[in-house]
């Protein structure tokens, strides 16, 4: 009996913790939240059915799905299997590239069809464009076991970045093995 009560309490705590984490993520990523924006360029939101069920075992709530996708690879594969037309495959690849690259001008899209040097340059630029505009940038210190490193903390709509100040004398003194 005691084991059953302890197991039930652990399960209840785990469910509560999961709900709190989901609530925090929703607050931070909501368009009215800390990193949200109501701009039309905002990425599409995906939803899924929540695990919660009512008394009749119906799943009646939708919650955000941060891992949602339109599955462009699957549609491209299906188009290739049913109609192996070259134009369909080229259009599918271009749609995937446009989704990955986001809002870039048509000049850069024309460059994508060029040689490998241009492709490597565009891949570097791609990473910069996915992060979006910097919302906040401030000097900061990263504290890790046995190391404190000075640098700059940058916050974008979707990520946090810490860039080390490599010119700082304390950084040069740090053992490279660390």
Let me know the angle formed at the C-alpha of 46 by 40 and 48, rounded to the nearest 5 degrees: 155
Q: Which residue has the higher pLDDT, 18 or 77?
A: 18
Ramachandran class of 120: left when φ > 0, alpha when ψ lies in -120 to 50, beta otherwise = alpha
33-56 pLDDT, tens digit per residue, is 666 666 666 667 788 877 777 677
* CA–CA separation, 121 and 125 (whole Å): 6
Q: Are 48 and 39 in contact (CB under 8 A)?
A: no
Q: Where in the chain is the domain with CATH 2.30.29.30?
A: 134-173
* pLDDT at position 63: 77
* pLDDT at position 85: 57
CATH topology of domain 134-173: PH-domain like (2.30.29)
66-88 pLDDT, tens digit per residue, is 787 777 766 666 655 665 556 66
Average pLDDT over all residues of the chain: 72
Q: Tell me the three state secondary structure of residue 155.
A: strand
* pLDDT at position 39: 62
Q: Which residue has the higher pLDDT, 121 or 49?
A: 49
* pLDDT at position 109: 45
* pLDDT at position 97: 65
> Average pLDDT in the 125-134 region?
56
Lowest mean pLDDT among 64-73, 94-103, 155-164: 94-103
* pLDDT at position 135: 76
> Average pLDDT in the 109-138 region?
55
> Average pLDDT in the 22-27 region?
81
* CA–CA separation, 104 and 109 (whole Å): 8
Q: Are 130 and 102 in contact (CB under 8 A)?
A: yes
* pLDDT at position 8: 93
pLDDT band at 111 (very low <50, low <70, confident <90, very high): very low
Q: What is the pTM of this model?
A: 0.30
């Amino acid at each position: 009996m005691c084991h059953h009560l302890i197991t039930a309490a652990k399960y209840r705590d785990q469910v509560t913790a999961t709900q709190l984490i989901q609530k925090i993520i929703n607050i931070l990523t909501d368009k009215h939240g800390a990193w949200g924006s109501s701009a039309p360029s905002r990425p599409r939101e995906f939803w899924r059915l929540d695990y919660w069920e009512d008394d009749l075992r119906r799943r009646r709530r939708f919650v955000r799905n941060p891992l949602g996708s339109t599955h462009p690879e699957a549609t491209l594969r299906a188009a290739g299997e049913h109609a192996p037309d070259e134009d369909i495959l080229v259009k599918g690849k271009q749609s995937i590239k446009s989704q990955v690259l986001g809002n870039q001008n048509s000049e850069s899209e024309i460059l994508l069809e060029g040689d490998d040097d241009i492709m490597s340059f565009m891949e570097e630029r791609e990473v910069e464009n996915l992060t979006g505009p910097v919302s906040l940038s401030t000097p900061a210190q990263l504290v890790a076991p046995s190391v404190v490193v000075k640098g700059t903390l940058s916050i974008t709509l979707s990520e946090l970045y810490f860039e080390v100040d490599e010119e700082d004398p304390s950084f040069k003194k740090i053992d490279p093995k660390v």
